[in-house]
Amino acid sequence: KKYAAEPYRIKVIEHIRQTTKEERIKILKNAGYNPFSLRSEDVYIDLLTDSGTSAMSQEQWSALMIGDEAYAGSRSFYRLESVVKNITNYQYFIPAHQGRGAEQVFLPQLVTKKGMYYISNIHFDTTRSHVELAGARAIDCVIDDCFDLQTYHPFKGNFCLNKLEKTILDKGKENIAGIIMTITNNSAGGQPVSMENMRQVSEMAKKYGITTIIDGARYAENAFFIKEREEGYQDMDIIDIAREAFSYADVLLMSAKKDGLVNMGGFIAIKDHEELYNKCRTYIVPMEGFPTYGGMNGRDMDALAVGLMEALDENYLRHRIDQVRYLGDRLREAGVPVQYPIGGHAVFVDCKSIAPHIPYDQFPAQSVTNAIYIEAGVRAVEIGSLLLGRDPDTHENIQSEMELMRLTIPRRVYTYRHLDVVADAVIHVFEHRSELKGLAFVYEPPILRHFTAVFKPI
């Protein structure tokens, strides 16, 4: 197999330090067996998240120098606005400090009464939290193939249109606040949504008069998969594929910390719904800041204006996706069960198969995550029952369909050799999987518990 070489060369480096296994055993214990509580200085290769962890280009660093820090009407705002309008063909743009900033402002606007629902292929956990904080409930309608981890399907992030229509009819179209197309789909394993599926979802939404939203954190990677896998798109430019995707939605909520190639940033873009725009412009002031900065520095808006275009470059995307694929292929060749095909931003390791002896409420994927930190100072993250949390009404632990450890690859940061260190560690843990132990809570937070929970081994 050929994996694309880096379409860039390195001009600045950041020193990283490896600890000893003995040190890591002590450090993890002091971190309450939760990788989120580790200090960056004690992590050799950090695969916790691809969010906000990208390396910026020399063009982005130079763009910082022209940042206009005017409180209102910043030049940086207008430069960023014109890039977003150019990419989306939407009329309205409102910056926010990150994805959650956009979610907290937008999602309540469509929740007009009690007992309403948002429907997504799969809501990511922070989006689910903001749906619930807005007083609605989140329903997922992804295709069943998504959970058949070993079997190939080109678009495992797709909506099941039958489930979607059934849910709309069961709940009543007037109780559906919106349909959120999450592209790529993080919780499904970084799996893409096809253009045909987005078109069909959009048609169904129009049929029932429901607003369609794109959660576009990784929309550029989604466009790359469409170009690579969907009939009729091989010769289209990435930006034009993205534009067609956006044409099937009314609103784009974006965490720019992924496919914006910046360390902080986000935004709301609205196609043509002026009233919705005015409501968001009102809400953004108390929640995020004046509408021409929305919690972002002027200089960050300029870095994002450059980053958004760089993230749509096909050579950049091919290398980015190939790096993740390289790690996934190494694990598959060693017999490690992973979500296949390999996702766009991460390799998702199937820990239910690796540790069948650990019940879902003792968090098998967290146990594997801890083991690879001890093995090689690599920090990954659990995307399973721990992240899924408790039912907001019954407060029972929700058993996740999949218990995944996510090895999340930052953009333009690590080399293929770093990924060999990761692969060797995961393979070692896999070969010693019978020694893995479950975890119990010492402290369980009430919201988004995985970020700050404390555990002890059972």
Ligand X SMILES: Cc1ncc(COP(=O)(O)O)c(/C=N/[C@@H](Cc2ccccc2)C(=O)O)c1O
Residues that bind ligand X (CB under 6 A): 48-49, 51, 98-100, 124, 126-127, 182, 186, 215, 217, 255, 257, 266, 381
Query: Would you say 49 or 191 has its CB closer to ligand X?
Result: 49
Residue nearest to ligand X (CB): 99
Query: Would you say 368 or 427 has its CB closer to ligand X?
Result: 368
Interhelix angle 238-247/219-229, rounded to 10 degrees, is 110
Q: Kindly report the CA angle at 48 between 33 and 149, in degrees rounded to 5?
A: 95
Minimum CB–partner distance for residue 410 and ligand X (Å): 10
CA dihedral (322, 326, 329, 331) positive or negative: negative
Q: Is 266 helix (H, G, I), strand (E, B) or coil?
A: strand
Q: In which residue are the tokens 């988004």 written?
A: 448
Catalytic residue among 97, 123, 258, 418: 258
259 part of the active site? no
Minimum CB–partner distance for residue 95 and ligand X (Å): 13
Distance CA(156)–CA(192), nearest Å, equals 6
Query: Would you say 320 or 433 has its CB closer to ligand X?
Result: 320
Distance CA(306)–CA(412), nearest Å, equals 15
215 part of the active site? yes
Distance CA(225)–CA(308), nearest Å, equals 18
CB contact at 8 A, 270 and 90: yes
Distance CA(218)–CA(324), nearest Å, equals 14
Minimum CB–partner distance for residue 399 and ligand X (Å): 20
Query: Would you say 44 or 427 has its CB closer to ligand X?
Result: 44
Catalytic residue among 5, 26, 29, 71: 71
Minimum CB–partner distance for residue 455 and ligand X (Å): 16
Catalytic residue among 130, 271, 418, 450: 450
Catalytic residue among 124, 155, 233, 430: 124
125 part of the active site? yes
Minimum CB–partner distance for residue 351 and ligand X (Å): 16
455 part of the active site? no
Catalytic residue among 31, 138, 217, 220: 217
Which residue type, as a one-letter code, is found at position 83?
A: V
117 part of the active site? no
Distance CA(410)–CA(413), nearest Å, equals 6
Distance CA(435)–CA(426), nearest Å, equals 14
Query: Would you say 97 or 227 has its CB closer to ligand X?
Result: 97
Q: List the catalytic residues.
A: 71, 124-125, 215, 217, 258, 450
